[in-house]
Structure 1
Amino acid sequence: MDRLLNIFKQIRSKIAFYPSLIALGGLALAFLLIYLESINISSFLIDVAPFLVIDDTDTAKTILSTLIGGLISLTVFSFSMVMVLLNQASSNFSPRVLPGIISDQKHQVVLGLYIGTILYNIFILISIEPTEIEYQTPGFSVLIGIILTVLCLAAFIYFIHHISQAIQVGNILTAIHSRTKKELAIIIENQEDKNQDFPSTDHWEKHKITQRGYFYGILKDDLIELCKESNLKAMISLHKGQFIIDGTVGFLTEKPVEDELKKKIEKTLLFSHTELIGENFIYGFRQISEIGIKAMSPGINDPGTALNTIDYLSSLFIDLLLKKDHEFLTDKNGVNWVSLNCPEFSEILFNVMATYRQYCKHDITVMRKLMHKLKTLKLHVVHSDQLKIIEAEIDQLRQDAITSIMNKRDLELLEADYFSWS
């Protein structure tokens, strides 16, 4: 079941998933209406509500042909807009934001409605028989095609509005922030109910894996079941997003295992040839920081966006302070069977700060905002180790500012009370 859910999640993230389903729905509706026409539903409706039925064959053919041509043009234009959106998002922000835009269900549903309506109208047009017999014209089916086309026009208006909103950097940052905050909340909530009991892994058996690509997840239920059946505890030494080559140590076990069990455990580890976003809060920090750094590039020169990204990162780091450094796979009885290698607070904070310090150290407004962020984090620490980590980053930020900013007055204001005007 775990493996099937993983395959479904990958398919659902593709831009063609919902369009394909809705297109099939359009085909099914066309065949249903063709069947209803074969039992003279148009004849019945002419007697009951004649104003709903088009009973002229030539008129029906003209209407359907016009609708098909117009919808094809509308579809091409909409797909072109999506491509422009993706190109602009990649150029101005980061290529890492593309999966979130591509997987937007609203865009997929609109494009699917276009294709489904086109297929419906095509098959209804084909079903019109060249005869002069009364009621052979699928008048009711043509009416449904007109209604679907009107819905497509309404969807196009919504599509224009939504796509214009989706490209705005504020909405992109808000979406990434909300998704990452939600993922962190789930992890923190699960940790509250779990114990942290797990044996030391210092002398455990190391196992190399033969997989290649980016590690992006685990079939959790399958791995727990294997460990329970073998009465074996394990540690996954890979972290999400890591690129794996042959010979990498993939996991550790508390005792030697047979090759068959080793292969089964390895099959529960998921790899991809491309870097997948997936349910990984690390990508949220990475995406937001990349948008901020891209905004500071000479080609874009948008320090306001960089300041906004620091605000979002500050909010996420406050949540990250609550997350424990260890994650476990636990069965229904609360027993920890597998320990997961997850990035620590110090690593994430360093990676974010290192990129900002490198590319923003010449801008006093951004440096002041970073200093303010670090001092704010000091007020939310959970234990003393986190305080030491933040103090170390403050020292590094101060050193970069001293070496890069020549204006003495600017340096004096580096650690003054920060007033945000962004």
Structure 2
Amino acid sequence: MDRLTNFIDLIQSRIAFFPTIISLGGLLTAFFMIYLEQQDISAHIMEVAPALVIDDTDTAKTILSTLIGGLISLTVFSFSMVMVLLNQASSNFSPRILPGIISDQKHQIVLGLYIATILYNIFILISIEPTENSYQTPGFSVLLGIILTVLCLAAFIYFIHHISQAIQIGNILTAIHSRTKSEIASIIKEQEMNTFEFPSQDYWKGYKITETGYFYGILNDDLLELCKENSIKVIIQLHKGQFILDGTIGFKTERPINIELQKKIMGTLLFSHEELIGENYVYGFRQISEIGVKAMSPGINDPGTALNTIDYLTSLFLDLMRKADFEYITENDQKNWVRIKSSKFSEILFNVMATYRQYCKHDITLMRKLMHMLKTLTNHVINSNQLEVLEEEINELRADANINIENKRDLGKLDADFISWS
């Protein structure tokens, strides 16, 4: 990631990004059509296809005024639907999934098309001058405005369909799962060619962070360039998503460095006052877990959704087991210059299981599903440490079940093979 890529990623996640760009396109189209009308384009088209040109000024004004009013109502209704969608998703699932819905480019493009067409029609309406000339009315521009409005109606139909699909929990889980799986897969692909060679850090010099906020990424290209220029290796002590306080040891170097280089290295670390998903796969586990736990709340009471979330988590954990404990920034010759701290399999598994055990410990179906997930993972362990972690979680799950489930028949089914009926 470089500075330009980081900036583009940030602005693209804003709901106003594409509407702003498309609206400017509508504005420029209006000015271009006004210029063509001054070149009597409507008069030329009138000679070839008179049926396509509206040559009555009052009719043109009426049509444009009607289109503007109708599109404003359509835009308000569509924005209202987006707000209802966000509120419902936050209440029923998790507030953490909102950035993914807001950054949906399809919603932004539809809303941008509405605003661009409104601006186009407004400026074409303003360009109509009170005159008696036969071809002063911008007939062809009005026709284009009608065509754009028809496209807006078609986009509205698509918008209704897409927004009804976006709020379905199955599609939300699938999107989170796909994004998280892709992020883990990219890390695994990079580590396949890695030698994992890195010097011991016993006597390295640590430096404090002067920022406060959520650490969400690194400008890899800039940091790699600094390391190569100064022939120094760096260890980043932060992991993505961690809230950093001023004074936290943020990075270590193999030898002491001057203040100027400290500031340059610190400038490659990205912080924000809000949690940004970015390329942080941990948020995928967190979001799916929150959806599953919230589904078990008394107000929602949807164990079927909770069962589905465990299926998606099982798939992600199988991939996560293949990821190394550290990530590296590597040169083309496979030389590691930077080692980055990342969340370990044991840490993520504990957080997920601790959350589910707390809220699902009275439900034998979910406890069986969790036990099935853990036993499935034991069949795919990469090393003995993972097996030890899984066996510990199995024992904790069994202990919680013994305490909270009184029915002995249910307890007897805890270790049986789980056959999903959801």
Equivalent residues in 2 for 1:274-289, closer than 5 Å = 274-289=274-289
- The residue that corresponds to 1:366 in the other structure is 366
2:303 maps to amino acid: P
After TM superposition, give the deviation of residue 193 of structure 1 in Å. Answer: 1.3
- Identity level (%): 73
Structure 1: 4+ residue segments shifted above 3 A: none
Q: Secondary structure at the match of 2:206?
A: strand
1:249-328 paired onto structure 2 within 5 Å: 249-328=249-328
Q: Offset at 1:73?
A: 0.2
Task: Give the residue type in structure 2 aligned to 1:277.
Answer: I
Cα offset for 1:4?
A: 1.8
Could you say which residue in structure 2 is the equivalent of 1:116? 116
SS at match of 1:216: strand
Alignment of 1:335-350 (within 5 A): 335-350=335-350
Amino acid of the structure 2 residue aligned with 1:368: R
Q: Determine whether 1:126 maps to 2:126.
A: yes
Q: Aligned equivalents of 1:126 and 1:212: distance in 2?
A: 51
> What per-residue deviation string (whole Å, max 9, x for no partner) do you get for residues 299-319 of structure 1?
111111000000000000011
Give RMSD over aligned pairs. 0.7
Residue in 2 that maps onto 1:203: 203
- Per the alignment, residue 408 of structure 1 pairs with 408
Match of 1:184 in 2: 184
Tell me the alpha carbon deviations over residues 103-162 of structure 1, each in whole angstroms, 9 at most, x when there is no partner: 000000000000000000000000001001010000000000000000000000000000
Deviation at 1:203, TM superposition (A): 2.1
d(CA) in 2 for partners of 1:202 and 1:400? 41
Report the alpha carbon displacement of residue 12 of structure 1 after superposing the two structures with TM.
0.8
Matches within 5 A, 1:49-88: 49-88=49-88
Match of 1:228 in 2: 228
**Secondary structure of 2:337 counterpart:** strand
List alignment gaps of at least 5 residues for structure 1.
none
Q: Distance in 2 between matches of 1:202 and 1:316?
A: 34
Whole-angstrom CA distance in 1 between matches of 2:398 and 2:204: 42
Shift of residue 419 of structure 1? 1.0
Partner Cα separation in structure 2 for residue 55 and residue 134 of structure 1: 7
Residue identity in the other structure for 1:92: N
Return the alpha-carbon distance in structure 1 between the equivalents of residues 184 and 202 of structure 2.
28
Moved more, 271-280 or 67-76: 271-280
Show structure 2 runs of 5+ residues with no match. none
Per-residue CA distance 1:370-389 (angstroms, 9 max, x = gap)? 00000001111111111111
- The answer for the alignment partner of 2:104 in structure 1 is 104
Aligned residues: 422
* In structure 1, distance between residues paired with 2:288 and 2:202: 36
Residue 42 of structure 2 is matched in structure 1 by 42
CA–CA distance in structure 1, aligned partners of residues 22 and 67 of structure 2: 18
After TM superposition, the structure 1 stretch with the greater mean CA deviation from structure 2, 261-270 or 325-334, is 325-334
After superposition, give the CA deviation of every residue in 1:264-284 in whole Å (9 maximum; x if it has no partner): 100000000111111111000
Letter in 2 for 1:119: L
Structure-2 separation of matches of 1:297 and 1:235: 42
Q: Matched residue of 2:390: which SS? A: helix
Taking the aligned partners of 1:208 and 1:218, their CA distance within structure 2 comes to 16
Which residue identity lines up with residue 195 of structure 1 in the other structure? T
Structure 2 counterpart of 1:161: 161
Could you report, residue by residue, the CA deviation over 1:77-99 in whole angstroms, capped at 9, with x for unpaired residues?
Answer: 00000000000000000000000
Distance 1:191 1:2 in 2: 20
Code of the residue aligned with 1:100 in structure 2: it is G
TM-score, L = length of structure 1: 0.99
Shift of 1:326: 1.5
Aligned partner of residue 327 in structure 1, secondary structure = strand
Q: Distance in 1 between matches of 2:268 and 2:318?
A: 33
CA shift at 1:332, angstroms?
A: 1.6
User: What corresponds to 2:247 in structure 1?
Assistant: 247
Partner residue in 2 for 1:137: 137
CA offsets, 1:332-358, max 9 Å, x none? Answer: 221100000001100010000000001
Q: Hey, what's the Cα distance between the residues in 2 that align with 1:129 and 1:194?
A: 70
